[in-house]
Amino acid sequence: MNAIFLLLLIILASILVLAQPKEGGRIPYFTLTAVGRDGKNCTLSSTSLTGRTVLIAFYAYWCPHCNKELPELAAAWNQCSKGGDVAILVGLGGNSTRDYDLFKKYALDGWYFVPENYTFAKLFGIKGIPTVIIADGNGVVRQVNVGEAGRGKYCIGINLAHIKSTQNNTVPIPCEQNKSKPPLIPLELAVALVIIALITIAALIRIRGKF
């Protein structure tokens, strides 16, 4: 019985760590390598993006809904974004070249491409594409869209992020040009794995002690 209870705790811990951010919640800590509109590599982190409205889109080149939504995102960005806003587009199509080609077709100022970072997708609990998350300058999620939404709804999310932000950062380039290597796995995921490992070890010791 105790072993079953501990197993349930392990499963619950995993679900909590990988849950998709909800509106009003905070985006998780992250550091990742991205490609700018100019083709240069840079490092983005949740810390370096403080004070900026951040849009994170998960998509794939073969997804018909994604192909429909990227031009809608571009139209909303043209209409509603401000200097210093950042869009991170994460390609999950299994072919980074084709995902990047789709990114380049619509890329605007402030857009960055992340190729096939499934760890990042798991960190955000992504269950379907396209998924678009918009957060304000304080890291608070203001809008989550799964599936088709349209430029009007994206504009509402971007404007809400601008209004709700208590910080302002209009410097157009947020990248720290490869000053340091990003961690292999996000901090939250690493902590969760350590906790799960400790719980598992404790369970095994307890079970072993009964024999």
SS3 state at 25: coil
Q: Taking the model in full, what pTM does it have?
A: 0.73
115, containing H or E segment: strand 111-115
User: What pLDDT sits at residue 76?
Assistant: 96
Tokens representing 49 are: 């993006």
Q: What are the pLDDT tens digits along the chain (211 aa)?
A: 444 433 333 333 333 344 567 788 899 999 999 998 888 888 899 988 888 999 999 999 999 999 999 999 999 999 999 888 999 999 999 999 999 999 999 999 999 999 999 999 999 999 999 999 999 999 999 999 999 999 999 999 999 999 987 666 665 554 545 444 434 444 555 666 778 878 888 777 776 666 5
With contact defined as beta carbons under 8 Å apart, do 199 and 175 qualify?
A: no
pLDDT at 202: 75
